[in-house]
Amino acid sequence: MICKRIIPCLDIDNGRVVKGVNFGQLRNVGDPVELARFYQDEGADELVFLDISATFEERQTVFDVVQRVARALMIPFTVGGGVSSIGQVKHLLESGADKVTVNTAAVANPELIAEIAAECGSQCCVLAVDARRRSADRRWEVLTHGGRRAAGLDAVDWCHQAVERGAGEILLTSWDRDGTRLGFDLELTAAISATVGVPVIASGGAGGADDFVSVLTIGMADAALAASIFHDRDWRISDLKHVLNEEGIPVRL
């Protein structure tokens, strides 16, 4: 049986780890290298590093910080933020990343997904999707530029298209739940998971162990990502995994 993964997220702004609510109200959390080591020791299955201001500021990901974090890790390491070319993807992989996420650039140029898959392998290509519920119906729209702009795309349709082009994994973040601790958007996660044939990482809204149980079962997610509850030490990853194990959810203890 394939184990479900628990993934801490390091949102990076100006070289520091930050966390906010609905992609705003950012607060400083700490040093990315120190936190990376801490989460690895805590039993994290993977680590995600997102340079959240790179696209909006029209610059590349901070490669030097990526290299320092990569040197501290022995677990899989996914990096994103400001990635807009195959050259940048290769640079990140050479800097120590195992996988690279694309978001805004992939919306602007969907062929980038196919290019990454062809040259680096689908397993390296993670489509990051920031989705916001539309008030007019029970669907979700794709946001770009760090959640600042609506792309005019339906989130479910976009994920399906991206996987057909070669994306090997979906990092799905609910804009509505981000940083709120109100629980993952189960309806959104289940809709995407039922549509694509690749692993889905659920993100946005984790508040406690029950939320992880729900998103990994009802939401059909393959992995769950969180930041606030780990950064604030409300939950230790090891304790969370023991709860999941008791609930019959396969995890690496």
Q: Tens of pLDDT along the chain (253 residues)?
A: 799 999 999 988 877 888 767 666 677 778 999 999 999 999 999 999 998 766 555 555 678 899 999 999 999 999 998 899 999 999 999 999 999 999 999 999 999 999 999 999 999 999 999 999 997 788 999 999 888 899 999 999 999 999 999 999 999 999 999 989 999 999 999 999 999 999 999 999 999 999 999 999 999 999 999 998 999 999 999 999 999 999 999 999 9
Catalytic residue among 11, 13, 45, 178: 11
CATH superfamily of 5-246: Aldolase class I (3.20.20.70)
DSSP-assigned beta bridge partners for residue 6:
224
| Predicted TM-score of the model (pTM) | 0.93
- Which letter does DSSP use for residue 174 in this model? E
Chain CA centroid to CA 114, Å = 20
| The pairing of beta strand 77-80 with beta strand 47-51 | parallel
Report the pLDDT value the prediction gives residue 90, as an integer from 0 to 100.
97
Residue matched to tokens 């690279």: 100
Report the pLDDT value the prediction gives residue 25, as an integer from 0 to 100.
62
Chain CA centroid to CA 158, Å = 16
Token code pair at residue 224: 């769950």
232 carries an active-site annotation: no
| The pairing of beta strand 24-30 with beta strand 16-21 | antiparallel
Catalytic residue among 51, 130, 178, 222: 130
Residue matched to tokens 């993952």: 184
What are the sequence ranges of the domains in the chain?
5-246
11 carries an active-site annotation: yes
